[in-house]
Chains A and B, each alone.
Chain A
Amino acid sequence: MTALLRAAKAFPTLLRVGIAEVVAYRAEFVVWILTTNMPLVMLAIWHAVAADGPVGRFDQRAFTAYYLGVLAVRLLTSNWAVWQLSMEIRDGTLAAKLLRPIHPIVALAADHLSALPMRALVISPVVAILMAVAGDRLLRHDPLLLAIFAASLAGAWLLIFFTMVLMGSLAFFVESAMGVFELWLGVHAILSGYLVPLEALPRWVRRAADVLPFRFMLGFPVETLVGLLSRREALLALAAQWGYAALFAALALRVWRSGLRRFAAFGG
Chain B
Amino acid sequence: MPPETLIDVRDLSKSYRVHKRPPGLGAALKSVLRRKYELVQAVERLSFRIDPGERVGFLGPNGAGKTTTLKMLAGLLYPTAGEVRVGGFVPQTRDPRFLQLITLVMGQKQQLLWDLPPAETYAMNRAIYDVPRAQADETVRSLVELLEIGDLIHKPTRQLSLGERMKCELVAALLHRPRVLFLDEPTIGLDVSMQAKMRDFIRDYNERYGAAVLLTSHYMDDVVALCPRVVVIDHGRLIYDGDLRELARRVRPDKRLTVRLAHPVERADLERLATVVAAEPAQAVLSVPHARLQSVVRDALAALPIVDLTIEEAPLEEVMRELFGAQVRAPQA
* Contact, CB under 8 Å: A20 / B116: yes
B36 contacts partner chain A, Cβ-Cβ < 8 Å: no
CB pair B77–A10 under 8 Å, yes or no, is no
Spot the interface stretch: A33-41, A57-65, A75-83, A258-266: A258-266
Interface size class of B (residues with CB under 8 A): 20 to 34
Q: How far is the CA of A268 from the CA of B97 in the complex (A)?
A: 22
Task: Tell whether A84 is near chain B: CB-to-CB under 8 Å.
Answer: no
B76→A100 contact, CB < 8 A: no
- CB-contact partner of B77 in A12, A16, A263, under 8 A: A263
A98 sits at the interface (CB 8 A): yes
A9-B130, A21-B115, A93-B109 given; A3·B96 CB < 8 A: yes
Pairwise interchain contact B127-A13, C-beta atoms closer than 8 A: yes
Q: Does A24 contact B (CB under 8 A)?
A: yes
* Interface assignment of B104: CB less than 8 Å from any CB of chain A: yes
- Determine whether the beta carbon of B127 is less than 8 Å from that of A99: no
Q: In the complex, which residues 123-164 of chain B have their Cβ closer than 8 Å to any Cβ of chain A?
A: 123-130, 156
The residue in chain A whose Cβ has the minimal distance to the Cβ of B100 is: A101
Q: How far is the CA of A24 from the CA of B78 in the complex (A)?
A: 37
A96 B130 Cβ-Cβ under 8 A = no
- How many residues of chain A are within 8 Å of chain B by beta carbon? 29
Give the CA-CA distance A17 to B118 in the complex, in Å: 11
Chain B residues, CB < 8 A from A1: 96, 130
Question: Known contacts A6-B96, A9-B130, A101-B99; is A96 also within 8 Å of B109 by CB?
Answer: yes
CA distance A101 to B74 in the complex (A): 12
Shortest distance between the CB of B193 and any CB in chain A (Å): 28
A6-B130, A17-B113, A21-B116 known; A98-B76 Cβ under 8 A:
yes
Q: List 27 A-B contacts (CB under 8 A).
A: A3-B96, A6-B96, A6-B130, A9-B127, A9-B130, A10-B127, A13-B123, A13-B126, A14-B128, A17-B116, A20-B116, A20-B120, A21-B115, A21-B116, A24-B116, A24-B156, A95-B109, A98-B75, A99-B76, A99-B99, A100-B125, A100-B129, A107-B128, A261-B78, A264-B16, A265-B77, A268-B106
Seen from chain B, the residues whose Cβ lies within 8 Å of a Cβ on chain A are 16, 71, 74-78, 94, 96-97, 99-100, 102-104, 106, 109-111, 113, 115-116, 120, 123-130, 156
Q: Can you add 12 more A-B contacts, CB < 8 Å, to A13-B124, A101-B100?
A: A1-B96, A13-B127, A14-B124, A17-B123, A17-B124, A92-B109, A95-B71, A99-B99, A99-B102, A101-B96, A101-B128, A264-B77
